[in-house]
Amino acid sequence: MYLSPRHSEIIELAKDSGRVLVDELAAHFNVTPQTIRKDLNDLCEQRLLSRIHGGALFPSGIENMEYEARRKIAADEKDAIGKAAARIIPDNASLFINIGTTTEAVSNALLDHSGLMVITNNINVANRMRVYPSIEVVIAGGVVRGSDGGVVGEAAVDFIRQFKVDYAVIGASAIDHDGALLDFDFREVKVAQAIIANARQVILVSDRTKFERTAPVRIGHLSQVDTFITDRCDLASIRRICMDSEVDLVEATANAG
């Protein structure tokens, strides 16, 4: 769903400060408070913000956003990250792709590759890639999460452990400043951990909004990946971890290349 320029800027302002207020936004955009209230109501209906008296909050903490809403956040940045990851993965490679809107962007960027074997626990990825005859898609079995089409649980973990692939493309719901990779669902985390353990090279894909969020379940640590692709990394602590652990940090620019 398309976001207007004003809606996009409201989201960015909310991300920066954690909340936005009707009167301040009305003055910022030189529109009436009634217009801003309608904007906030629209954004809250799409689960991009959470309404409070006199304004709205940017979702954070243990509350995860609806999947379709997350697709809209940093969409251009995710597209650039996906293309950067696809440039690393050659034709005729085997790879895991796990759950997430950014990993889905990678799958979209891989559609012009040939000879790929893609093992995924993401129904959206499987459905997108299955129609391309040059790509073999293998989907994990297990419990299908209705919210996002992710396949989770012990059956999915056992299935993943049958493989040893060239690349793993993983995401995270949050990245702590100490390098911890975090998520919301412990069942999903177990699958992600199995994916990391059974790939020769691990590619973490995550836009910069994940530095601003928290989640309660630990996937692992940034030092466990080989390549970290983001749109921008301003955190000195993350840069230091990448340098010390020999993680290749790639900052992909939206609309470039």
Rounded to the nearest 10°, the torsion over CA 10, 16, 18, 22 is -30
256 occurs within a structural domain? no
Are 205 and 83 in the same domain?
A: yes
* pLDDT at residue 209 in the model: 86
**Tens digit of pLDDT for each residue in 189-202?**
999 999 999 999 99
pTM more than 0.85: no
* pLDDT at residue 257 in the model: 44
DSSP class of residue 229 equals E
Are 185 and 222 in the same domain?
A: yes
* Cα-based distances in Å from 37 to 3, 7, 27, 54, 189: 16, 12, 13, 9, 38
* pLDDT at residue 44 in the model: 84
Neighbours of 162 (CB within 10 A): 10
Are 230 and 107 in the same domain?
A: yes
- Measured CA to CA, the distance from residue 55 to residue 75 in angstroms comes to 24
Which CATH number belongs to the domain containing residue 243 in this structure? 3.40.50.1360
Q: In what order do the strands lie in the sheet with 50-52?
A: 19-21, 55-57, 50-52
* pLDDT at residue 1 in the model: 52
Averaged pLDDT for residues 160-166:
97
Which CATH number belongs to the domain containing residue 24 in this structure? 1.10.10.10
Average pLDDT across the chain, whole number: 90
Q: Does position 255 have pLDDT exceeding 70, yes or no?
A: no
pLDDT bin (cut points 50, 70, 90) of residue 59 is low
